Amino acid sequence: PVVYVKAGHLFDATSDNLRDNVVLTVEGERITKIVPAAEVSIPAGAKVVDLSQDWVLPGLIDCHVHLESRADEYNPINEVRMTPFKGAFNGVVNAKATLMAGFTSVRDVGSQPFFAVDLRNAINSGLIPGPRVVASGPPISITGGHGDMNGFAPAVSNWMYPAEKDFQIADGPDEVRRVVREQVKYGVDVIKILATGGVLSAGDKPGAEQFTYEELKVAADEAHRAGRKIAAHAHGTQGIKDAVRAGIDSIEHGSLIDDEGIQLMKEHGTYLDADIYNDDYILQEAPKFGLPQEMVDKEKSVGRLQRENFAKAVKAGVKITFGTDAGVYPHGDNAKQFHYMVKFGMTPAGAIHAATSSAADLIDRSKDVGTLEAGKYADLIAVTSNPLDKIETLEHVSFVMKGGKVYKDEVGAEKQ
Ligand code: ARG
């Protein structure tokens, strides 16, 4: 059966323009045609989704989430209380919140081994509702780095999390190569590596390099050999450049990037995936549930600079995607980042491309998602006012369809 989706205003993300009064025909999971409304005669009794008063866009894509994490527990001490079961319950709830916010695809860039892989499979098999998940394994870290358990007695940290040693911690090119291969073996879609220190980790510095250029190069080559993309967490100036030169596909955070780093990203076509909403939540909310002062101080050292440097990168023409680090702040609030992307230099259409067409390119799913065209998945959302006039409109998505199935319909669009 064909579903006729009437769109009053369509932003299909193949350009910056809106098209008025079109009809998308959906058969099964995919779009089969998009035509001017005047040219279709909808057969009597056909299934219609009437969004003729609304603005219709491709389902949004967040390229940086952690679906197992809860914002109100995002405190490293809680990692020692985290069981895989707890993470899984969180993931079920977070996946649904993400989908209901209009994000029909996400890239999960770090969780316990191999949570995101299982969550992806559970969603794909129809067991639970959620976005399409492009899954990484645990983020690969040096010993003592952003992904290690720091600040505990040796006996405690060795005993606590044995899998960490096998699947996450790597020192030297050979171990990096082995860990990438292990992760591929257990079904990840993407590799996440921690090139520099971080904010929400004990005992390291966001600006400091962690993996060497040689290690990053091995990771990138090995990921690419396996047909996977690779993302690097990198706040620090030098670590960003090493990661870009090593052939990493996206720089996460990018906080302390300098002009040379910006030029390198342009030359290599590397995406910047900067979580520029995060700072608000970390400074305003996280201290209320006990985020250690060390981390609040680290946030203050990067947060504002990250936004200014993001603006420079946008101005210079670096390729930008939408990645928020949801899990540090509550899942479902992802779209709050659009406001900052526009405030710091993007056009509304540009910010939407970052979360649709460009994001699809980064996650290597352009043939399926990211634009609304015949042949793509019927992943689409609707809002009741024009997001090109006011980007914050996307914080209130009233309709969500994923793969031709309606998950949210606050406007009564679905007619029988
Ligand atoms: N996961 C990141 C880290 O711990 C969060 C950084 C958040 N701060 C920011 N300004 N984006 O390093």
Q: What is the pLDDT of residues 261-312, one digit of tens each?
A: 999 999 999 999 999 999 999 999 999 988 999 999 999 999 999 999 999 9
Q: Hey, whose CA ends up nearest to atom 6 of ligand 1? A: 199
Strand partners, 252: 233, 273
What pLDDT was estimated at residue 162? 60
Cβ atoms 324, 351 nearer than 8 A: no
pLDDT band of 84, cuts 50, 70, 90: confident
- 295 CA from centroid of ligand 1 (Å): 10
- 385 CA from centroid of ligand 1 (Å): 32
Q: Active site residue: 325, 336, 376, 408, which one?
A: 325
Instruction: Say if ligand 1 is within 6 A of residue 204 CB.
Output: no
% pLDDT > 90, the chain: 90
Q: Which residue has the higher pLDDT, 22 or 166?
A: 22
Mean pLDDT (the chain) is 95
- 278 CA from centroid of ligand 1 (Å): 7
Instruction: Say if ligand 1 is within 6 A of residue 358 CB.
Output: no
What pLDDT was estimated at residue 160? 63
Kindly report, as residue ranges, where domains of CATH 2.30.40.10 are found in the chain: 2-58+372-415
Average pLDDT over residues 146-153: 88
What pLDDT was estimated at residue 313? 98
Atom of ligand 1 nearest to the CA of 200: 4
Q: Active site residue: 54, 118, 189, 192, which one?
A: 192
pLDDT band of 77, cuts 50, 70, 90: confident
Is the preceding omega at residue 114 within 30 degrees of 0, hence cis? yes
Kindly report, as residue ranges, where domains of CATH 3.20.20.140 are found in the chain: 60-362
What pLDDT was estimated at residue 83? 85
Instruction: Say if ligand 1 is within 6 A of residue 123 CB.
Output: no
Q: Hey, whose CA ends up nearest to atom 1 of ligand 1? A: 200
What pLDDT was estimated at residue 415? 84
Instruction: Say if ligand 1 is within 6 A of residue 69 CB.
Output: no
Residue 249 has pLDDT above 70, yes or no: yes
d(CA 105, CA 124): 12
Instruction: Say if ligand 1 is within 6 A of residue 199 CB.
Output: yes
Least confident stretch, 63-77, 226-240, 328-342? 63-77
pLDDT digits (tens, 9 = 90+) for 176-189: 999 999 999 999 99
Atom of ligand 1 nearest to the CA of 275: 11
Asked about 192 being catalytic, the answer comes back as yes
What pLDDT was estimated at residue 330? 97
pLDDT band of 166, cuts 50, 70, 90: confident
pLDDT digits (tens, 9 = 90+) for 14-39: 999 999 999 999 999 999 999 999 99
Asked about 288 being catalytic, the answer comes back as no
Instruction: Say if ligand 1 is within 6 A of residue 200 CB.
Output: yes
Tokens in use for 397? 């998505």
Average pLDDT over residues 102-108: 99
Instruction: Say if ligand 1 is within 6 A of residue 196 CB.
Output: no
d(CA 122, CA 172): 35
What pLDDT was estimated at residue 153? 85
Atom of ligand 1 nearest to the CA of 253: 11
Residue 113 has pLDDT above 90, yes or no: no
d(CA 72, CA 302): 21
From 1.10.645.10, 2.30.40.10, 3.40.50.1970, 3.30.1960.10, which CATH number describes the 2-58+372-415 domain? Answer: 2.30.40.10
What pLDDT was estimated at residue 159? 65
What fold characterizes domain 60-362?
TIM Barrel (3.20.20)
Average pLDDT over residues 102-120: 96
What pLDDT was estimated at residue 165? 73
Residue 163 has pLDDT above 80, yes or no: no
Instruction: Say if ligand 1 is within 6 A of residue 198 CB.
Output: yes
- 198 CA from centroid of ligand 1 (Å): 6
Going from the C-alpha of 238 to that of each of 44, 64, 220, 245, the distances in angstroms are 63, 22, 17, 11
Instruction: Say if ligand 1 is within 6 A of residue 306 CB.
Output: yes
